[in-house]
Amino acid sequence: MPELPEVETISRNLSNGTKVAPSVVGKTITGAEVFWSGTLEIPDPVVFKKLIIGQKIKSVGRRAKYLVFTLSEDFLLVHLRMSGDLIVGPAGESLANHVRLSLELDQEWQLAFNNPRKFGRIWLLDDPTTRFENLGPEPLDPTLTADKFYKRLQSRKRQIKPLLLDQSFIAGMGNIYTDEALNLAQIHPLERADRISADLAERLLESIRQVLAEGIRRNGASIDWVYQGGDFQNYFRVYQRTGEPCPTCGTPVQRTVVGQRSTHFCPSCQVIA
């Protein structure tokens, strides 16, 4: 599943444009086609087309793993989930094999939602607040201080790996960047959150921010999903590097399963206190 850096990269590409496609910001939605009705959570396809045609895209941003399109009247939310991607190309052309929804822009371009496994979803809302009310803070938000992060950890008795994956605790983290951050901070994935010291909590927050920033700088990671825009996979510390040397101490990286998620760590650097 695309995580925070991948979603952030897509958001920036849609906002700024790429070598092959312009920015969608400022363009008016002049047409809409829903090829699979299950793509839409809210509203139904008929209402969706009626409401969205004629609206202008004012900005594209991100909240957690959601792409957020601020329109002239409403908000379009897109969650890519396992295999979703957004592609900009000339109107009327076939841009991918599994396009579930397409928006015509200025009668010249189109924004296509390619979603092979059909897990991705789209919402058109007049207010996105209720959709985001159960999300935790953004890890890159400067208002999330080390002290606030430590207090959040102290209030939880869960293992740290599943906790970091919980979007209500901190928004945007996924399997890749959680493994990378825990290794960089030298914290075992099974360590209990409330047993992490204030100093270690600060180091963990710094590590989370460091791996996310590096992921964004490298346009995310391209592994086994439709998103193929980045090269952070070439710089992983431990994720999917089972048996390879830990970059800190050289001990072979081990793989285990935590909360039904494949987990990679160094048994020497990352020990339970």
> What pLDDT does residue 226 have?
57
Question: pTM of the prediction?
Answer: 0.94
State the average pLDDT over residues 150-171: 97
* 86-141 tens-digit pLDDT: 999 999 999 999 999 999 999 999 999 999 999 999 999 999 999 999 999 999 99
Residues with a catalytic annotation lie at: 2-3, 65, 261
Banded pLDDT at 72 (limits 50, 70, 90):
very high
In the chain, the N- to C-terminal Cα span, in Å, equals 31
Is residue 271 situated within a structural domain? no
- Separation between Cα atoms, residue 179 and residue 173, nearest integer Å: 10
101 and 157 housed in the same domain: no
Is residue 273 situated within a structural domain? no
104 and 160 housed in the same domain: no
Mean pLDDT for the chain overall:
95
Q: Which single residue is written with the structure tokens 């914290």?
A: 187
> What pLDDT does residue 228 have?
67
Among 88, 104, 132, residue at a domain's last position: 132
Is residue 220 situated within a structural domain? yes
Helix or strand or coil: residue 222? coil
Banded pLDDT at 171 (limits 50, 70, 90):
very high
Residue 238, domain extent: 146-265
Give me the CATH number covering residue 252: 1.10.8.50
127 and 12 housed in the same domain: yes
Banded pLDDT at 55 (limits 50, 70, 90):
very high
Banded pLDDT at 82 (limits 50, 70, 90):
confident
> What pLDDT does residue 242 have?
98
- Separation between Cα atoms, residue 155 and residue 148, nearest integer Å: 11
119 and 150 housed in the same domain: no
Q: Are strands 40-42 and 121-125 parallel, antiparallel or unpaired?
A: parallel
Please provide residue 177's backbone torsions phi and psi, each rounded to the nearest 5 degrees. Answer: -75, -20
118 and 183 housed in the same domain: no
Among 132, 155, 182, residue at a domain's last position: 132
Helix or strand or coil: residue 257? strand
152 and 126 housed in the same domain: no
116 and 192 housed in the same domain: no
Helix or strand or coil: residue 233? helix
The distance from CA 98 to its chain's CA centroid, rounded to whole angstroms, is: 21
Is residue 140 situated within a structural domain? no
176 and 98 housed in the same domain: no
Element (DSSP H or E) covering residue 89: strand 85-90
Is residue 254 situated within a structural domain? yes
68 and 116 housed in the same domain: yes
Domain count for the chain, please give it.
2
Please provide residue 239's backbone torsions phi and psi, each rounded to the nearest 5 degrees. Answer: -60, 125
CA distance readout (Å), 254 to 161, 182, 208, 268: 15, 13, 20, 10
Give me the CATH number covering residue 95: 3.20.190.10
121 and 222 housed in the same domain: no
* 217-267 tens-digit pLDDT: 999 998 765 566 789 999 999 999 999 999 999 999 999 999 899 999 999
